[in-house]
Amino acid sequence: FAPWADPSAKPYIVFENITKRFGDFTAVNNLSLSIFEREFFALLGASGCGKSTLLRMLAGFEEPTSGRILLDGQDLRGIPPYKRPVNMMFQSYALFPHMTVEQNVAFGLKQDGMPKQEIDARVADMLKLVKLTQFAKRKPHQLSGGQRQRVALARSVAKRPKVLLLDEPLGALDKKLREETQFELMDLQQSLGLTFVVVTHDQEEAMTMADRIAILDKGEVMQVATPAEIYEAPVSQFVANFVGNVNMFEGKVKARNGEAATIVGGSGAEINVVNAGEAAAGKDVVFAIRPEKIKVSSKKPAGTNAMQGEIWDIAYLGDMTIFHVKLSDGQIVKAATMNSSRIAEDPLSWSDQAWISFEPNAGVVLSR
């Protein structure tokens, strides 16, 4: 499933040069974005970056100051929320406390005047889907947080919207339940064949669930890509820092040879890379590399991109060990090694002299 990779594929939801101002504050700034049918799309960013505002404009609770939002080719301007084939699930779930689970799920269908028999069948279907059939007669206060979340989900998909908007859908759940529910949400999206647009500030949540992620900052899109692309090929220091851990080596491009380049750092250490992107010779850059791409060893490894330092910290995490290695110029480099692949004959302790090394294709060159 990768419609975004097909240049002839037509996007389903298009944000076209959207700006949203509140007074003289610009919450969304000339933003363009396309989402495909059946995509699980995440809007990821820090608090205040404008992600909820985007969702609210798609739902119809806010109108853009300028720009257009298209859904399946139709301009949504002026169309009230209840006439859009879009439903929104809020973080608070907004369940009616005096109604039972089944009454909550039936509510919107009743309002639409659906015949009772049909409502009963639909509600039974929905409760089965979210595994709450046995709780049909309970009230929300008799349910756990996770169960309440599933009632809210069942209610928001009962009307069969084409697009479900989820604003921090797992925010109220504890960590373990959250992880389980992420997979349930993915299954539900798959089985219903809906387009999901989820707002979250939790990078792990976005990485786990989404087909693609848009990273937002100050009302602008920083990068739109699959979780793997965002992690492996961030386009800027902002994105590299926002998602996962990263080491940054500052330097200057010393020489280019086609795509390849040599970067020289302040301490004179050289880094050879196979792909320096746009960075021309003489340019100030950073080389960004993820901790698990860095090897640590007690002996000088063969090949390029090896730097000597001292073991500064060791954290054993069960599945992996994190080494902090202090280089001669004072920079502390973070290296993560899976314990299943640790070399037993190379035990490393605090204060040991050690070498870090990495492959020429293990990181990305970003502008400063």
CB 200 to ligand ATP: min, Å = 8
Residues that bind ligand ATP (CB under 6 A): 22, 25, 27, 45, 47-53, 201
Please give the Cα distance from 355 to 181 (Å, whole number): 42
**Closest to ligand ATP by CB, 207 or 214:** 214
CB 55 to ligand ATP: min, Å = 8
Would you call 8 exposed, middle or buried from its count of C-beta atoms within 10 A (0-12, 13-18, 19+)? exposed
**Closest to ligand ATP by CB, 119 or 165:** 165
CB 65 to ligand ATP: min, Å = 12
Please give the Cα distance from 55 to 118 (Å, whole number): 30
Q: CA neighbours within 13 Å on the CB side: how many for 99? A: 15
- Which H or E run contains 250? strand 247-257
- Residue 123 CB partners (closer than 8 Å, separation 6+): 102, 105, 106, 109, 136, 158
Question: For strand 220-225 and strand 212-217, is the pairing parallel, antiparallel, or unpaired?
Answer: antiparallel
**Closest to ligand ATP by CB, 217 or 359:** 217
Please give the Cα distance from 345 to 66 (Å, whole number): 64
Q: CA neighbours within 13 Å on the CB side: how many for 351? A: 0
CB 42 to ligand ATP: min, Å = 13
CB 167 to ligand ATP: min, Å = 8
**Closest to ligand ATP by CB, 53 or 104:** 53
**Closest to ligand ATP by CB, 166 or 348:** 166
CB 17 to ligand ATP: min, Å = 18
**Closest to ligand ATP by CB, 57 or 263:** 57
Strands, E assignment, 110-202: 163-167, 195-200
